[in-house]
């Protein structure tokens, strides 16, 4: 039924490598099928103005897509001179997702900037970015602990994301581009390792969807993120 031949509840092949970036304090190259996102986490010793002197840290994110990560070449945002609304929406989402599992007081006054750059896109880039960002963030924070910048790990939980959607009237997990372009509705779920909801973003692309459908999608998201949480643990070596 699915263009890829996957079962409705099947995640794409997932891998997370942590050695791609030469310089970042933490990094992850996450692949979900043909979607590939390079995430780096950079430690900075300053916080944004609104936090100065409050003894708290900050985690923020930026997102970009290489011009030819997509089927047809998209404009380079740096050349156009501004980030699209879509880009800004995504990077705000990634930042919120990370902050949901960080004890910012435990960080002290330091920042971590997460950069998520899509090298190849085949649907689900924001979700892959979030799942990879947790790995990069974990590694950067551990780096800070190893350097005695931090005394303890400020991460309170895992966080991961997956998209689900109604495709040909069936709830399916982890939409690829073909499905995403034709889904009746899709939703991105950001979940914690302990099962809590951090973000739910459901959108009807065609007809409105029902509460029952929303719950079907959420159930699939729980199944999908369980596998992502396992891959994250393995990537950071705490499995």
Annotated binding-site ranges: 86, 124-126
Separation between Cα atoms, residue 103 and residue 107, nearest integer Å: 7
Q: Which of 158, 92, 79, 76 is nearest to 126 (CA)?
A: 92
Counting contacts by CB under 8 A, is residue 232 touching a copy of itself? no
Tokens of 219: 């159930």
Q: Are strands 111-120 and 58-65 parallel, antiparallel or unpaired?
A: parallel
Q: How many whole angstroms separate alpha carbon 232 and alpha carbon 151?
A: 23
Residues in region 80-109 near a copy of itself by CB under 8 A: 80-89, 91-92, 96, 100
Which stretch, 34-42, 51-59, 127-135, 226-234, contacts a copy of itself (CB under 8 A)?
34-42
- Are residues 177 and 72 in contact, defined by beta-carbon separation less than 8 angstroms? no
- Asked whether 77 and 129 are in contact (CB, 8 A), the reply is no
Does 10 contact a copy of itself by CB under 8 A? no
Tell me which residues in 61-80 interact with a copy of itself (CB under 8 A): 62, 64, 66-73, 76-80
Write down the least CB distance from residue 123 to a copy of itself, Å. Answer: 12
**Residue numbers at the binding site for a copy of itself (CB under 8 A):** 20-24, 27, 34, 38, 40, 42, 44, 62, 64, 66-73, 76-89, 91-92, 96, 100, 113, 115, 117, 119-122, 185, 187, 191-192, 194-204, 207-211, 213-215, 218
């Amino acid at each position: 039924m699915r263009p890829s031949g996957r079962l409705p509840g099947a995640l794409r092949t997932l891998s997370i490598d942590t050695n791609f970036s030469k310089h970042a304090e933490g990094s992850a190259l996450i692949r979900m099928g043909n979607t590939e996102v390079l995430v780096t986490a950079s430690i900075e010793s300053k916080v944004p103005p609104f936090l100065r002197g409050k003894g708290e840290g900050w985690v923020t994110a930026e997102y970009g897509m290489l011009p030819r990560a997509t089927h047809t070449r998209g404009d380079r945002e740096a050349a156009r001179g501004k980030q699209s609304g879509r880009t800004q929406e995504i990077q705000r989402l990634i930042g919120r997702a990370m902050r949901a599992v960080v004890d910012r007081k435990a960080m002290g006054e330091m920042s971590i900037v997460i950069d998520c750059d899509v090298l190849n896109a085949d649907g689900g880039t924001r979700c892959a970015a979030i799942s990879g960002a947790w790995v990069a963030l974990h590694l950067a924070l551990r780096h800070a602990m190893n350097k005695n910048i931090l005394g303890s790990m400020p991460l309170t939980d895992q966080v991961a994301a997956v998209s689900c959607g109604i495709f040909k009237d069936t709830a399916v997990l982890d939409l690829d581009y073909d499905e995403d372009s034709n889904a009746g509705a899709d939703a991105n779920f950001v979940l914690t390792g302990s099962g809590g909801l951090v973000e739910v973003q459901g959108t009807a692309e065609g007809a409105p969807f029902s509460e029952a459908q929303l719950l079907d999608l959420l159930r699939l998201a729980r199944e999908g993120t369980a596998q992502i949480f396992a891959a994250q643990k393995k990537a950071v070596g705490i499995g």
